[in-house]
Structure 1
Amino acid sequence: MNYLVAVLPDRIQAEAAYSALEKEGLPMNKVSILGRGYKSADEFGLIDPNEQAKKQSKLMAYWLIPFGFFAGIAFNITTGLDTFAWAGPIGNYLIAGLLGAASGAMGSVFAGGGVGLALGSGDALPYRNRLNAGKYLIVVKASETITRQATRILRQFEPENIQGYVDSEGV
């Protein structure tokens, strides 16, 4: 499946482009307008980078927190540190484990959240920003032949940006 995304500056141009695609006989169930009064980014399925970052952070926390706990205990045992003399040996192991778990939690937030925010969005974030700025997107989700035909038609409207994508899940 191929995608074609064209960014148009206003609603009038978006509707004119949509009408031109309709006149050329493109299957209109494959064409969507995103913007105010039409589908939102969430309704269409553009990934929200903040949601992806939260998911990635939680996923990493499931294994980093327990790993940090046991790594903290192992570090305390191997070094023989008696940092908190009042806690005794078992208390020192538990405190080291809790500090290791806290380090694992911080790692999941910084690494998981940061990586999810930086890499999880792809081109979705620029498109979301354009929608938030009042622009409109025409999205054609169809075969290569139809997206090529749509590209030819949409170029007449001089979009701010026009980009084609190939769905990698089908490959």
Structure 2
Amino acid sequence: MNYLVAVLSNRSQAEAAYSALEKEGLPNSQIDILGNGYKSADEYGLINPQQAALKGAKRQVYWLIPFGFAAGYAFNLLTGIEISPAIAPIGNHLIGGLLGAAAGVLGAYVAGGSVGFTIGSGDALPYRNRLNAGKYLIIVKGPDELMRQATRILRQFEPENIQGYAEPLST
């Protein structure tokens, strides 16, 4: 499936573009308007950047916790730092491992979360920002020929941005 996303500056321009697409015979089921008074980004299914950030952080947590524990344990073992003289040396090493695991969790949420937020959401974040700024999106989905026809029609309305996307083929 291919997608064409056009960013239009106001509601009347978006409605005129939608009407022009209808007049040219594009099916209503393949055209959507996103913006104030129409579908929201969540209703349409644009990726929420916070969800992408959380997903990236969770992916990293699974390997950073054990690695952090091992690194903290080894660091305490090699340096011989006494965290508490009341517990045996093995207890100090275990506390060092737990502190290392905690550092791994923090690293996962900082690194994985920031990468997921900025990269994991793709172009969804800029489109969400434009919707929040009061702009409107016209999204057309369908085969290549329909995308070419829709592009030709939408260019007449001088959109701020027009971008095509191809859904990756599943194997």
Number of equivalences: 170
Shift of residue 130 of structure 1? 0.5
* TM-score of the aligned structures, taking structure 2 as reference length: 0.93
If each structure's helix is expressed as a fraction of its own residues, which one has the higher value?
A: 1
Task: Identify the residue that residue 32 of structure 2 maps to in structure 1.
Answer: 32
| 1:167 is the counterpart of 2:167 | yes
Task: Identify the residue that residue 108 of structure 2 maps to in structure 1.
Answer: 108
Q: Which runs of 5 or more residues in structure 2 are unaligned?
A: none
Task: Identify the residue that residue 83 of structure 2 maps to in structure 1.
Answer: 84
Shift of residue 76 of structure 1? 2.6
> Any conservation in 2 of the 1:82–1:89 contact (CA below 8 Å)?
no
Shift of residue 88 of structure 1? 2.5
Task: Identify the residue that residue 7 of structure 2 maps to in structure 1.
Answer: 7
For 1:31-70, list aligned pairs within 5 A: 31-70=31-70
Task: Identify the residue that residue 118 of structure 1 maps to in structure 2.
Answer: 118
Q: Give distance in 1, aligned partners of 2:26 and 2:170.
A: 22
Distance change in 2, residues 1:80/1:170 (3 Å): closer
Cα RMSD for the two superposed structures: 1.5
4+ aligned runs moved over 4 Å, structure 1: none
Q: Give distance in 1, aligned partners of 2:84 and 2:32.
A: 67
Code of the aligned partner of 2:28? M
Q: Give distance in 2, aligned partners of 1:16 and 1:72.
A: 62
For 1:12-27, list aligned pairs within 5 A: 12-27=12-27
* TM-score of the aligned structures, taking structure 1 as reference length: 0.93
Code of the aligned partner of 2:45? G
Shift of residue 80 of structure 1? 4.9
Code of the aligned partner of 1:83? E
Code of the aligned partner of 1:82? I
Shift of residue 147 of structure 1? 0.7
1:82-139 Cα distance to aligned partner (Å, 9 max, x none): 3325132022111111111111011101110111012112111111000001110000
Q: Give distance in 2, aligned partners of 1:60 and 1:122.
A: 19
Shift of residue 12 of structure 1? 0.9
Q: Give distance in 2, aligned partners of 1:150 and 1:5.
A: 10
Distance change in 2, residues 1:129/1:80 (3 Å): closer
| Residue aligned with 1:4, SS | strand
Q: Give distance in 2, aligned partners of 1:149 and 1:85.
A: 73
| Residue aligned with 1:157, SS | coil
> Any conservation in 2 of the 1:53–1:117 contact (CA below 8 Å)?
yes
| Residue aligned with 2:21, SS | helix
| Residue aligned with 1:111, SS | helix
Q: Which runs of 5 or more residues in structure 1 are unaligned?
A: none
Q: Give distance in 1, aligned partners of 2:145 and 2:20.
A: 17
1:48-81 Cα distance to aligned partner (Å, 9 max, x none): 112110121122112211221122213333x151
